[in-house]
Amino acid sequence: MTSSVLLYSGVRIMEENKIKVLIVEDEAKLARFVELELKHEGYDVVIAENGRAAIEKFYESSPDIMLLDLMLPELNGMEVCRRIRKESDIPIIMITAKGETMDKIAGLDSGADDYITKPFVIEELLARIRAAMRRSTMDKPSAESDILTLKNLTVDISRRTVKLDDNEIELTKREFDLLAYLIKNKNIVITREQILNRVWGYDYFGETNIVDVYIRYLRTKIDDKYGVKFIHTIRGVGYFAKDEEQDN
Ligand code: CA
């Protein structure tokens, strides 16, 4: 009994739907200051102290937005920006020091969405983050490839909606990400570890049975409610979403 209570309080923490900001800044004090301000505003924060770490943290933690200092050890901000842009269209706000403003054009050319000059007031940074996030959610094109299907289940990645025939199914962010990941890899068995890495991120150190808990949530909301069976268990291995009609 006690363990399930603990589990549930843990689950509640996992369900928080926070925007994750990757701060790339080699001035530790400034990075710490921005981190505290952002956390106070309810953001999740990851810090990278140089250009190479920025690339690594980007892959590890899949942030929603990036604050990128221009002058960095290892790789400079422009180079980091170019590399990230090959992989992702997350909003990138370039941070330049006073006197580096001539780099504005180059920064935008390398794929940054916006830039802010140091020293800045935190309110301005927060406003730019909000604006960049608004633009990025509005810009998302709802291309055909953004629609995933599994039998009569339709998952719209850009709108983040799930429908079974015409019934809309309400999912939390994590449930949605888990379902989308399973369906993207439908008919392939996915291990718990793979799910943890992709859906929760490499920095997740909590309960490993969190995956089973969320699978159960999905089954409650979809399989049980509509009398279908989408998510199959391979004991001791993991899970898979089965497309074709079969037994069990
Ligand atoms: Ca710097």
Give the domain ranges of the chain: 5-138, 143-246
Between helices 210-218 and 173-184, what is the axis angle to 10°? 90
CA 239 to CA 188: how far, in whole Å?
A: 8
Lowest-pLDDT range, 13-22, 85-94, 237-246?
A: 13-22
- Residue bearing tokens 């909606």: 161
pLDDT higher for 232 or 6?
232
Q: Distance from the CA of 169 to the center of ligand 1, in angstroms?
A: 46
Record: fold of 143-246: Arc Repressor Mutant, subunit A (1.10.10)
3-state secondary structure at position 192: helix
Q: Distance from the CA of 95 to the center of ligand 1, in angstroms?
A: 9
pLDDT grade for 204, boundaries at 50, 70 and 90:
low
Q: Distance from the CA of 30 to the center of ligand 1, in angstroms?
A: 10
Q: Which CATH class is domain 5-138?
A: alpha beta
What pLDDT, on the 0 to 100 scale, is given for residue 53?
A: 97
Q: Distance from the CA of 82 to the center of ligand 1, in angstroms?
A: 17
CA 217 to CA 169: how far, in whole Å?
A: 12
Residue 154 CA to chain centroid, in angstroms?
21
CA 77 to CA 50: how far, in whole Å?
A: 9
Q: Distance from the CA of 131 to the center of ligand 1, in angstroms?
A: 24
What's the DSSP call for residue 144? G
Q: Distance from the CA of 134 to the center of ligand 1, in angstroms?
A: 27
Q: Distance from the CA of 221 to the center of ligand 1, in angstroms?
A: 48
Beta bridge partners of 94: 68, 115
Q: Distance from the CA of 66 to the center of ligand 1, in angstroms?
A: 15
Q: Distance from the CA of 27 to the center of ligand 1, in angstroms?
A: 6
Beta bridge partners of 93: 67, 114
Residue 69 CA to chain centroid, in angstroms?
21
Name the token pair of 192.
Answer: 């718990």
Q: Distance from the CA of 70 to the center of ligand 1, in angstroms?
A: 6
3-state secondary structure at position 187: coil
Q: Distance from the CA of 72 to the center of ligand 1, in angstroms?
A: 5
**pLDDT, mean over the chain:** 83
Q: Distance from the CA of 93 to the center of ligand 1, in angstroms?
A: 14
What pLDDT, on the 0 to 100 scale, is given for residue 113?
A: 86
